[in-house]
Every structure is written in C-alpha cells, then in structure tokens.
Amino acid sequence: MMSLDDELALRREAMAWLALRTNDGSDAISRDELTRFTFRGERLTLIDQGRGIRKPRECRAALTIMTVFTPSGRRRPYEDVLGADGFPRYKMRAGARSSADNHAVLTAMELQVPVIWLMGVAPSWFQPVYPVYVIGAEPELDQFALAYDAAQTLPLAGSPMEEVIRHYVVRETRQRLHQPVFRSMVMRAYDTQCAVCSLGHSQLLDAAHIVEDSHEAGIAAVRNGLALCKIHHAAYDAGILGISPDLVVGIRYDILAEVDGPLFEHGIKALHGRPLMVLPRRRKDRPAAELLDWRYERFLSA
C-alpha cells in the first residue's frame, strides 16, 4: 500500500500525463490510451474494464470514476445529476452500497485526495475532468456529491450566501464539466474539423453552440453544436456569418460590400452561398434544423 504522499504524487502525475495527451483537458482520450499510463516505471491503467470505479491495489482510495457513453434513447447505468445545490452527483455502484468500489470513493473523501472523472463522449472515448473531489455522500439516494475544490463544502440550507454559492457552483460545473464534455462530443462527431472550412487542427477549433447554453433551448447535445475554427466561430457569434437550416453559409450583406485583405476575401466573403464542408456521419448528430432556423432568423434580423 502506498503512503499518502506517494498516492498524491501518483494523482499529480496521472493528471499531468492526461494534460499532455488531451490538449490540456480540451480533447477526449481513448480507452486504449488510458491503459498506457505508467508510474515510476510500472504500467498503471487509469480505467477498468466493466467497472466504473478504478482503485489500483496499491492505492487507498479511488483514482478514477467513470460515466459511460450511452447512445440516445438508453439510460446510463450510473445516472449522474446536478444537485439543487449546484454540485454534480455521481451514482454509487448499483445495488452495492457497501461495496469495495463505493468504499474506495468514500476513502477519497476522507483523505481529501483528488480523483479523475472520465466522462464517456463516444464508444471507448472519454473526456477527463480533473481534479474532482468527493465532498459528501448521500446513501439514501445512492450517490456522492462532487466539487472542483477540496475546500468547498455543501452550502447550508437557509444561509444568506446559499443562492450566491449555488450560482457560482453551477457556473463552475458548466466550465469544468459540461463545456469540455460538449466540446469532445462535437469534435468527435465532426472528426475534429471545422464545419465551414474543414480546418483540422484541434487547438484552432471550438465547439460552438447554435443556441447559447444560457437559453432554455440551448441543450448540451451534439445536435446543438458545430465544430468551428476560431475565426468562423467568432464570425458566427458576431452575426457576420450565419448557417441556414439547409446547411448553407451566409455572410451579412454589409460585410460582402467591404473590401479588405485576402484572408477576409477568401476566408469570409467567399463562403457566402456555400454548403457546410463537414458534417457528422451519423444523421442524429447533425445540427437540428429547428435550432439552426432559430439562430438564422437572428442572423437575418441583424
């Protein structure tokens, strides 16, 4: 069994290793690659086959927790939710409240050691979210409460700061969990290429929302997303570039009348009237016509 110092060193090295392989946490990683991590010369897989909680025998506490990718129309075996307090929840191993796996997660809470959350974004592909801390257990609901800071605690009901804390935690959860997972799902669907120009460098690509996530229709699903390079994402958000429900690019008319350099001429103006160059292979991942229509009407009115 490792000392606590060694266990913390293992977790730091695992997170640094993930950062190098995921564009500092922006991209997904395959199940196969997750098995190739080594610590002090020894191979130490970061994921178990068929189990959602990974505790290497050398460790005292869980090292990784996993949420599996589930195609539309099927329930996840571990149903993770956002609590009313804003903190995300992770379901205990089904039907085994006192199991060794659940005990390993409780030990992570007691020792206040960080864990890595592997969120499934496609079959055998995961978006790592780290560091994550276990800050509470709710055995009556078969779930754990998680946070992104070991110093965070569940806010007290009735506290005058409760609503402020909740808004902060919801925003933090969106930035640390929902946005990276959304990005990975969109990048996988579009083969890491810009839908407008087919640029294929991950560091130069964003996952753009068709309907912003602050809107009630702005769901965090691939059909509400577009893989766009940073220039075309900025143009889309600025209302310079629009995408019609029939997947054709439009450029605002006053922009078409402007004269500028070759990048502007070929990279923006020349796109007017062209269909998208890249679309997801699976039809259910393609941008939803009703969401594109809502956004395109705003583009036309501008």
- Give the per-residue pLDDT at 74: 43
Q: Is 140 in the same domain as 269?
A: no
Give the separation between CA 67 and CA 80, rounded to whole angstroms: 8
- Give the per-residue pLDDT at 171: 64
Final residue in a domain of this structure, among 154, 185, 216? 185
Structural element, H or E, at residue 9: helix 4-21
Q: Is 133 in the same domain as 218?
A: no
- Give the per-residue pLDDT at 87: 81
Nearest to 87 by CA among 155, 159, 185: 155
Residues with Cβ within 8 Å of 98's Cβ and at least 6 positions away in sequence, in order, are none
Q: Is 180 in the same domain as 281?
A: no
Six token digits for residue 49: 């086959």
Per-residue pLDDT tens over the stretch 233-244: 999 999 999 999
Q: Is 158 in the same domain as 220?
A: no
Q: Look at the chain and report how many structural domains it folds into.
A: 2
* Residue 225 exposed, middle or buried by CB count within 10 Å (0-12, 13-18, 19+): buried
Nearest to 137 by CA among 159, 173, 105, 111: 105
Residues with Cβ within 8 Å of 257's Cβ and at least 6 positions away in sequence, in order, are none
Final residue in a domain of this structure, among 165, 185, 205? 185
For 84-114, give one letter per residue: b (16+ CB within 10 A) or e: ebbbbbbbbbeeeeeeebbbbbbbbbeeebb
Q: Which domain holds residue 297?
A: 191-301
Six token digits for residue 224: 């509400």
Tell me the pLDDT of the chain (302 aa) as tens digits: 889 999 999 999 999 999 999 988 889 999 999 999 999 999 999 999 878 999 999 999 999 999 987 655 344 445 567 777 778 889 887 655 558 899 999 999 999 999 999 999 888 999 999 999 998 888 888 899 898 876 665 555 555 545 555 666 666 666 667 788 889 999 999 999 999 999 999 999 999 999 987 676 667 789 999 999 999 999 999 999 999 999 999 999 999 998 888 888 899 999 999 999 999 999 999 999 999 999 999 999 87
Give the separation between CA 63 and CA 53, rounded to whole angstroms: 8
Final residue in a domain of this structure, among 162, 185, 208? 185
Q: Is 181 in the same domain as 195?
A: no
Q: Is 265 in the same domain as 124?
A: no
- Give the per-residue pLDDT at 77: 45
